[in-house]
Every structure is written in C-alpha cells, then in structure tokens.
Structure 1
Amino acid sequence: MMKSLGALLALGLAGLQFLAVLAVVFSSYITSQKALLDQARDLLRDVGANTVVHSQGFLNPAEGAAQLAARLAQNEVVASDDQQRLEQLLFQQLQITPQFAGLYYGNEDGGFVYVMRSPDEPGVFRSKIIAISAEGERSTRLIWRDGDFNILRSQLDPADRFDPRTRPWYIKAQAERAIIWTDPYIFFSSQQPGITLAAPVFEVEHGVRGAIGVDIEISMISVFLASLNIGSNGKALIINSNGDVIAHPDQDLIKTATDEGGLRFADIREIGDPIARAAFGPLAASGSIPVAQETASEFVYEGNRYVSNMMPVISEKLPWTIAVYAPEDDFTGVIKRNRAMNIWLAVLVAVVTAIVGLALADFIHRPVRAFAVRTALISQGEIDADAPAPKTYRELERANEALVQEIVARHAAEREYGETFNMSSRGMAQIAHGSGNFMRVNQRFAEILGYDRDQLIGMRFADLIHPDDAAPFADSGILTKDDFVLNRDLRCIGANGEAIWVTVNAITILDQNGKALHAVLTMDDITQNRHAEEQIDRLNKDLSHLARRDTMGQMASGLAHELNQPLTAIAQNADSALVLLDRQGGGNPELRDILTEIEQQSLRAGDIIRALRGFIRKDEFPPKPFSLEDLLKQMCYLVRAEASDARVTITTSLPDDLPRVVANRVQIAQVLINLLRNAIEAMATQPDAAPREIGIAASASEEFVTVCVTDSGPGIAPDLNLFAEFETTKAGGMGLGLSICRSIAGNNGGSLWLDDSVSRGARFCFTIPVYQPKVTPLQD
C-alpha cells in the first residue's frame, strides 16, 4: 500500500508533466503557426503599403511639373518666344529633380524645347530646340551642355521632322485640358521603364498655348522592391491595370522584345518569375486585376504553400496594383522542425522526471512509513509505547507548533491592520513590489476613482494617471523602488473618463532586512478645490481683458477723432491743387491722376476712420447694397504695392453672376484689407524658394455670398485661438485685428471663421448677406 502510494506519486508526477509538455508544445505550435501566418499577412500588407507610399513619394514631384507649367504660364515665360530662357528653366528643374529623365514643351505652332539627361553623350545634358519662324520655316538644333549650363557641342539637325502636336501626350493634354499620365512604357533612348506626365499651358486670350511634358524613369521602384526583406524568398512587384509588370526586384524580367525590334513590358502571364505567374496570372486572365480592395490568398506551387497579397490601385491617375508573395515555410518552417524536437524532448523529460519523482516520493514518504511501522509494532506489543518516536517526527512536530504560532500572530496583526485600512477616511492602496499592480484598495480609494474594488485589483496606478501628468511614472516600477517617496498633486482618469485632481502620498514598506515588501499609497480628492482656483483665475483674466479692451476703445476713439482733421486737410489740399491745375490749362495728366488718387484715398481713409469710430461707439450705420466684385478689385489694387514688395501673387476666382450684397461697405473693406495684409505678412518671412500666393474666391447661395482668402504661408498653430482678444502670432501685434473682423462680420449679418481643411497655408472665410430687393406689389 505504501509502496503503491509512492509509485503512484512518481508516475502521476511524470505523467502529468509529460501531458503538460505535450499540451504546451502542440498549443504553442498551433498558436505560433497562426500568429506567424497572421504576421506574414501583416508583413505582406505592410510591404504593399510601403511600396504604395514609396511609389507615390517617388512620383509626387511630377505633380510639381504641372505647377511649374502653371507658374511658367502665369509669368509669361512659356507664352513668350524666348526658347533659350525656357530651356534654362527646364534645365534647372531637371537638375533638382533626379527622378526626371527629361522635360519638354511643345506649342501650338510646332515649336519644341526638350532637355534630357545624356550620360553617354559629350555632355551630361542634351537639349533639342525646334524653332518655327514667322514664315513657317523650321530649324532643329541639338545642344550638349555640362552641369553648369555651358555649351559643349551644338549642331543643326535638318533631317529632324519631329512635331510635338502629333504626340499622344500633347493631344491628350489638349483634349482633357488637365494634367494627364500616360501608361508606363520602355523609353526608346535609355531603354528604361518610365512614365510621362503632361499638362496644358493656357493663355488668357488664346486658350491652350501648348503643353509641358515630363519623362520619369521608374526603374528606382524596382531597386526599392529588390531591397525589401520579405521573409527569405518573398518578392513584391507592381502590375499595371492592363496586366503589364512595370516593377520587379529583377528588372531584366519585366522587359521583352517586340516584333518591331523594340522593347515592351512583360505581361504577368508571361513574366519569367514562375511563382508570380502562378500567384497572379489567373487573376489577370479572369480580368480581376486590379482588385477593388486588399485581397489576401494562399496557393500551392510545386508542392510548396505560399501566401500572397494584392493592394488596391494607387490612384485613378496611376492604376497600379502592388502584389506580394512569400513561401509559408519562411515563417512556419522553423516552428515545424522545433515541434518534432520538442516532442522527443518532452518524452525524455517525462522519463527523467519519473525516475527523480520515484526517488523523491520515497524520500517524502519515508517518515510516514516509519511512523506506520512503529504504530504496527506497538499494536503487536513488540515495542513499548514510551519508546522514543523517530527523530524526524519530533522535528516535524516542533516545526508544526512554531508554524501554527506564527500563523495565529500574523492573522491577528492582519486583522487589526485590515480594519484600519478599510475604515480609513482617506483612499488607501497596497501596490505589489516588482509588478506595480494594486494588491488591495479600500472603499474610499475606489469611490474617489469611481471603480469597484474588485476592478482595481490587478490594475496599475500608472494606468490611472492623466497623460499630461504621467511623465514621472513612465518607469512602471517606480512605485516599488526601495527608496521611493511621493508627495504631490496630480490628475487621475476616473471610471467615467473624467479627470480627478488628487493629492497622493506613497512610501515603500521594507522588511527587517531592508528588502521592499510593497508600497502604501494614500489619496485625497481635491477636485473641487482645483475647480475653485481655476474659476478665480478665469475671472481675473476676464477682468484684465475687459480693462484692456476699454482702454483700447478709448485710445482708438481718440485716434479716430485726431486723424480726421489732417485727412480732411489732405483732401481739401488735393482738391485745391486740382482746381489750380484746371486753371493752368490741364497741366500734366500724370500729376492730375496722382492728385485724384490722393483725394480719393484720403476720403476713403476718412470713411474707414469714421466707420471704426462708429464701430467702437456702437453707432448705427444702415447697410447698403454694393458690388462685391468692385470692392475686391479695389482692395487688390490697394495692397498691390505691399504684395509686390513681398513678391506675393494675388489671384481672384469669382463667378460671372455674383449677386450684389448688402452691408456696411467700408467695414467689409476693412475685413478684406486685414485678411490680405495678414496673408502677405505671413508669407513675407518664408524662404525665397517657398511659394507666395494668395487666392481670393467667392461663391453665392440664396442668402449669403461666401468669400475665402487662402495663402500658401506657414499656416496657423493648432493651439492658438486667433479670434480671442490679445491673441497674436506677430511679434509686434496686439491681437485685436481678427477679433474686430469677426465682430464686424457678425454686425453685418454674416460670420468669419478659419477653414482648417487646407493642407498648406491658411484660409479665412466670411459671409455677407445677399441683397434682396423689395418687390412692390402691383396696384389694381
């Protein structure tokens, strides 16, 4: 019976461990295989997403070519006949954009300027210029240049008959009147894969003047794909919407010869990558490329399982599909081999454990067997009952007695401490050493945070701290350090998601040997006190703002009063000068224009000052109907000198049927002037190469006309309240301009706001009511 018990203990221990090891091995294999396959799919997805981003980032400079065309047309560089200047501009653009293989411009007369890279020629760049004379004669000149635009060689090509007007890029750009992309193709000169972007160039009086084109080599995308690490044998490729493979880690596989002796892209069904053919060829044959959404699949090739993934097209302009595949064994092969080894290892561990367990069971069971033998001998009368018991028995008995005494004492201490802990009026918690988890919390602690006590057990104090106050607790074990002491105010996030201000005190409890046992933390709710302090601060700030606004109102009213007199004198003097000029027989026309402009602007300044004074004094100025289009032209004319000094271009986009509006015209003019000058000042500090453009657009609805002023400046910081009084981004600003503008817009029946939908710069919009003429009913 006793031996059977020891054997069962040993065999049970070994058997349970064997089963546990097998369960761990198989469960680990299943979960690890699934996790690795999921990771493999995530890796393929990430590779596809990275390839999309890389391709877009590689081709995005081509969008700049369209903007270049617009700027060239606006500055009348393309529209002019200065082909040398145009060649220099294209040369500079080609130098700063390594993705471009060449840039060219063709006009409606057949003229053509082409600048391309030419590493194998006498110079690193070659230009081709086709000039058409007024009599219709054409001449073609080839120019080789070095990197400094110096001519190394120049010659005429009388046999050239190239006409840009017959090229697909020119025809398509003219027909669509927008930026167009061609399908990828193999460049004839460099025999490298590429794509062409073209944009029409407009002239105000003559419509389309010509088209600008950009040749972009996309071989670098294949180089990028070759650098990707997708398992051990995985690959990524790019498939065009027509099935052509336009990028592959092995660039030689994507080119194939045509019947005419040229080169074209290889179709996915004929590419020299057999795994790619097996993965994506059937989709191309069924017309399923491109896919509408991300598509993951598995397939078998020559007995090996593969995983693949296809991404949706990059964009409508670039209907390219990113395709990725990789062998499944790249991710699960190691774990499959480890599974068999771990099973044999489990068997070996079970055998060894059984032998050790048998010996251990006999050692543990020996004192019990000795006491059983002694009892049997006493019952048979072979030994005296007073005979000394086995030594092991007495040691176990004393140890048992001492242990019982320790347990009783500890329970008494824990009971006393537990009552104090639970009944405390302050929030209290015990934090485990090492993990930082709550071991125990009292009811008051749970009430402050809004949790149940059971919910807090196992959570960490660092998880409850507000993110703005969590920096000192970034180290998860800080509360369990041996020398840690904490006494500070901070914010916690309650169960309802709201911030709670608390005062926290915490120390680490050490044992008699100086080893950390746990941390004790106390907490008091001070949220109401904090809210009271914040309310007092807000009231003080509001009182300060009211005092400053009253002072600014008095000062502005005084300035308006004082400035009226000199402005009146200026207007009268200008009028008197015009009268004297008339008496002298007309005089100089330019002098008359200057005097007239002085008189008009002084009168307009007087109107603005009177309007400002009335706005400050809350005088009533009845709104009147006026033409917003005329007002916009006048405001652009007024700031043209400032815009010219800052090299800022102002453009307007107004509908033909823009209705009249009803408001105080002078006040609306002030809003426009303030927005335009703010935009000019914002862009004046930008680097010279940065764009400096202001766009004014207007649109009308039944009740309002909306005017938007958009600039290409640095934009507005998201944490700045521009419309608050005394808030400004200017070093010398007072922070009143936009606040007054918003008040003006509101007083005139509209509104003013910042439109944050633009990706660059800033856009301010305001509305003005549409003038609704009163209809007098007909009398019978």
Structure 2
Amino acid sequence: MRIQSRLAITSVFAGLIVVFASTIILSSSLTSRSVLHRHARTIMENIASYTIDKSQNHLIPARQAARLTRGLSRNNIVSSKDVESMVAYFYEQLYLHPQFSGIYFGSDQGEFIMASRYNLLEEGGYYTKLIRINDGVRSVEQIYKSAAGTLIRHQFDPTDAYDPRTRPWYQRAHRANDLTWTDPYIFYTAKKPGITTANPVYNSSGQFLGVIGVDIGIEELSTFISKLNVSENGRAFIMSQSGDIIAYPDVEKLKQEDGDDKTRLTRITELDDPVAREAFLSLGLPYDNLHLREPIFTTFTLAGEKYNAMFAPFTGAEWPWVIGIYMPEDDYLGSIKANRTVNILIALVAVVIALIIGLLVANKLSRAREMAESADEAKSQFLARMSHEIRTPMNAMLGAGELLAETSLNGDQRRYVSIYQSAGEHLRELVRDVLDLSRFESGRFRLEETPFSLRSAIDKACAVFTLEARNKGLDLRCCVDPDTPDRLVGDPTALRQVLVNLLGNSIKFTPQGSVSLGVRSVGAGHEADGQTCTLEFTVQDTGIGIPVDKQEVIFERFSQADGSTSRKYGGTGLGLSICRNLVTFMGGSIAVDSQPGEGTTLTFTVRLPLDQNTGFGDVLPAAQCRACDAASAKRILLVEDDERNRLLFTLFLKDIPHTLDTAENGEEALRKHFAAPYDLILMDIEMAGMDGYQTTQAIRARERKAGLPEVPIVAVTAHALIEAEDKSREHGCSGFLSKPVTKAGLRQTVAQHLGVSLDPVDQTG
C-alpha cells in the first residue's frame, strides 16, 4: 500500500472522529430545544441500529433451526417407525446446539416424539415423551434423565391426553404448508422464554406425515440487553407486536404466573418498569397490536424528569418484533451543557487517538495487502510452472496415443489405447478447467474479439460428440434457426468451450434417447461499436435429470448434483461453474430446467456484435478445400528441445506436401533460418540457453534491419495462462499454441499461418 493510501485511511478515521466531535461541541454550545431534540434523535438512531444488528445476530441459531427442520424432512429422518433412532438424533442436536430447548415430531395419527431439556427434577436434565398408537391402543411413555444421562424416572401416564394435532405450532405449519414461526412464549418444560419453528413433513411420495418442531431459547437476548450500555440511566427492551416483553435486562421480570402453574410472558403494561411503561404509552398506540414500519421517536416527562424514547421494528421478517429504548435527557446532554471545555478536550483527544488508530490500521492493511499480493503471485507462478511441467509430457503421451490408434491393432490393443487416450483427455480437461478457474479468480481472464462463423463454431462443437453419441445409440441433433446471423465478433473458443461442456454433460448423463442443440436469435441492439445480437442456446437431453433442490448447486465449483455422480460418471464439478463464468463474460446468463428421470434443458444467452465486414473469414465446406501441390510446397522449421515432442510433431505432419525441418535450440534455429529463411517457424518457448523469446526477438531484429517481411512465428508452450500468450505476442510471435497439442490442432495452425489448405481428409486428425 502506498503512502497516499495510508494517509487516506488515516484521514478517514480522523475525519469521522472530527465530525462526531464537532457534533458534540456544537450541541453543547447551543441551548435551543430543537437542536437538543435533533441531537437526541441522532444518538437514539445509532443505538437502535446497533442494538437491532446485535440482537438479530443472536437470532442466527433460529435460522439454523429452520435449516435443520428442512434437512430433517428432506432426509427422511423423521419417521415414527423408528422411534429410537429419531430420539437419538434429537438428543444429538440438543448436545450440538445449546440454544435448542426441545425437538419434537407430531404425526398425522396423533403420535408424538419429543426430546427436551428439563430442569424441574435436576438442573440441566432431560425429558423424553413418547405417544404411540398401536392397533388403536394409545400409550404415553415419560423418561426423565440427569445431566449426565443417567435414568431418574421412567413411567407411563394413562391420563395424558396430549394430541399434537391440536397444538398451534402443528396447525399453523400444516395450514401454511411451509416453515412457520410462533410468537415468543414461556416453554412449559424449561420455564424459559423462546420461540418455536415448525415445518410440515412429507414422504417421497408427497404424502403428509406430520410436523416437526424445534424450540429455540431466546433468553440470551436478555443477557445481551443487560450488557448493553444505552446510557447511565437508560435501558433497552424488546417486545412482540402483541405487547409481550421478549427481552429485558432483568430476565425474571419477563415471567407472569397465571395460576394453575402456568407461566406466560409479561405484557408491556404489566412490566415492573414505570419509565418503560410511560415510554410506550407516549406512543398512543394499542399495546396488543403494535405494527411499526419505521422508527418512531417520542418524548415524555415522568416525575419531573424529561425522557427521550424510540421504538423501531426489526428488519428480519421472521421476527416481527420491536425494540424500545429510553434515556433521560440529562444522561447525554447534562454533562455536555455543564462541561463544554471538557467536551472540547475530549474531542481533541479523540482526534489524536483516531489518527493513531488510523496509522495502525493502515499499516495492518498494508501488510495484509502485501501478503495477499505475494500469495497471489506465488499461486500464479506455481500454476504457470505446473502447467508447463504437466503439459510438456502430456503432449507427447497424447500424441503418441493418437498415432498409435492410427496403426493396425487387434481388439485388446485398441481397447487399451482407447483407455489410455480417454484418461489423457480427462487429465487435459482437468488442467484446462483448473487454469480457467484460476484466471477467473485472479480477474485476469479476458475474451477475444475476432470475427467468426457461428455455424462453423456450432458444427465443430457437435462434431466432437458425433462418434460418442453414435456408440451410445443417441440421436444427436444440432439445429440453427435460419434467421440467426452467422457472422459475429467475439471469442469462438470460449463459446465452443461452453457448448462442448454442456453437450458433453448431456451425452454423459443420457443413457438412451436424444441430445439436441438449438440456437436462435432473441433480440438485437445497438452499442457504440455497432449492432449487436442476443443469441439463445438450448441444450436438451432425455437423461437422468437433476433434482430441483440441486439445480443451483451444479453451478458451484467442485459440486455435482449427487456426491456419487463423480464415482459413476466421472468429472470434477468445474465444467458448469466455468460455463457460467464464460456466459457472464459474454453478457448473458444460464439457467436449468430439469426433473429426475425426465431429462434436462440448459439454456444460456450471449450478446455479441455483428461482423460489419461480412466477407471476412468465410468458412468453406471441407469438400471445397483444395490440397497443396508440390509447386506450392512451404518450408517449416520446428524449434523444440524435447526429443519426444520433435518426433511427435514430425509424425503429425509427415504426410503434408510441405517440408518440415527441426532445430534443438535457439542458436541452431537462427543458423538455419538466416542461411535459408523458412515460411513458418514453430517456436518452443521454454528452452535451455537461448529461449524462444530471445530467438524470436533476434529474428525480428534482423528482419527490421534488412527490411524483410516478417515470417510467421507460432509460440508453442506448455504454459496455458493468458499471460504467456500476451508475453509471446509482446516478443514478436504471430500466434500461440498451447500443449498438449492434438494432430488436428497442429495441422489447423500450420494451414492458417501458411495461408494454404491441407488434405481435407487429414484435417479431421
């Protein structure tokens, strides 16, 4: 972090304190009632906002309980057929979550299974209640245990008439058919305030089984409120919209005895705090129907002392509660009016402290940023090096397998080569996906802007899977709407990568039936550079499908719809994550529509400019490509220090009507090229001695000095990061080819840079 950044952070800290101090000084210097009220409101807003944030943080366990109930219903853990397992699971949750007071399940037949904390017989004890119905006979079993888990009492109660179906939590969840929350109340067994979340449960066939409930204690809110420093004589409390006090510094004041050993929450009008009662009465609203949409401020006088109060609603929709705050005016204004000089000195000290803190924070942020940048640079260097080290031998391995597959092999040998090639391709895709993901995370990914043919890109993507689809007996169709523009400007490689990923997934997860790709134009627009077109791509299959609750997960990195998928079908879980990133970069979005067993439809859109120069780069059908004759033969130089790759490239290009020469290092390449210039140079970048960058610069320097045209030089490297391609072009290279190199890819690059066509049969590789 530069010095200017540190000073900026320090200045922000100091500025905030200066503003706050100036407010205090200004309020202490003015005596008008309106100014004092505005100042009081500002303080109250800050305290209320802080208190609501902290209070809702204390309610995070309630959200965890909501997730728990959904998880229980999804995973079929709630089943009255296995009571022992359910009780054991319930107690496990009580041990893991001390904020849970009890967990229970009421079936649609009236059965009830509960595990809860119980303090009446022993502090920290537990209570289990089981209501079962067998052949129409109802039994009620009660089990009391100590905090250590030893049995205290085990009994049957034939007089117990409890029916969970009559309880509000059951009826509300059943009626809403969704997760519901009760109003706060006093738990019967724990005798502590809490709330209940309830969720309906269905089996895999959609049949309603019952309702599961979780009691969450909220006594911690009172503990938090008691520690909150509102002011010297001020207090905060939380109440429900029905007027019950939920949290108060003295937790014992929350309870009221109604007789018959029943305990309920204290209403605001019953609270043993005359100031809190008067603050509420100053609102002029009914105590049992308090619905606030925004904070309300009020002032009142009690026993000759002036107070300010504020009531504000919680922001969380799950908890329709209201926080109340009151404080005497003299708590925050008396000392200001009486000690102006002291306040000014305090403000000055605060500014100095802020400066010191700002410097400390700036230094800490500086160190953190330097460490993060160092770690990011180390990761980039590691990925670049590993990419090179993996891709160099992989190029030879895959190329040798490709050549071996073209020889005469018996059945077993062909199967072995097929396994070898499949594993190699999987490894190559894995390295590519990891590098793509790294570029996305580092923010270094960028799209190309080049004219291309949409139909050609689609044909190439579909051609990859023609053989695989035929072997699986699948009907593979690729259809382009006739009104769809063909000449576009963009990154055809990125678009093809998305299509290959989606088509590959569809074919992988479709055991029978069909896979189709449809493309159509869904809109046009205008940008600064010209007209644009929005394309919609739809990949549809009749495969195994994806559950609805897993359809968002599949777009997360290293995630698949089913944990067993990677074992059965293979894959890393990176493909769809990369697809979503690529589609987003191309100005579109991706969505999935699927049902298990009914196939999957993946739809994505991209927005691309139209190619204004419609004659550029037209793609001819393969049958119209002409082969080169001997009179137009070109000279090619391969500069490669790896003997395996020299042999492999030579075999890949052995049947083309051009001359291929090789050089083991940069010095040899310069001697040969300067003696008899070549028409194309394939330049390995990583070489001992004079590397590919230095060799290329030496060739370009001689061309400039002698006024010679530039020979095409294609950088061939195992580094697949975008930085390697940029660096090669900065050093004078005309093109870029990353290892591992396929036969088709190499021949296509040679044909492109020589400006001639190769044998159309050999183009398929």
Instruction: State the structure with bigger RCO (CA 8 A, min sep 6), 1 or 2.
Output: 2
Q: TM-score interval w.r.t. the shorter chain? A: 0.3 to 0.5
Which structure would you say has the larger Rg?
A: 1
> TM-score normalised to the size of structure 1?
0.47
Q: TM-score of the superposition, structure 2-length normalised?
A: 0.47
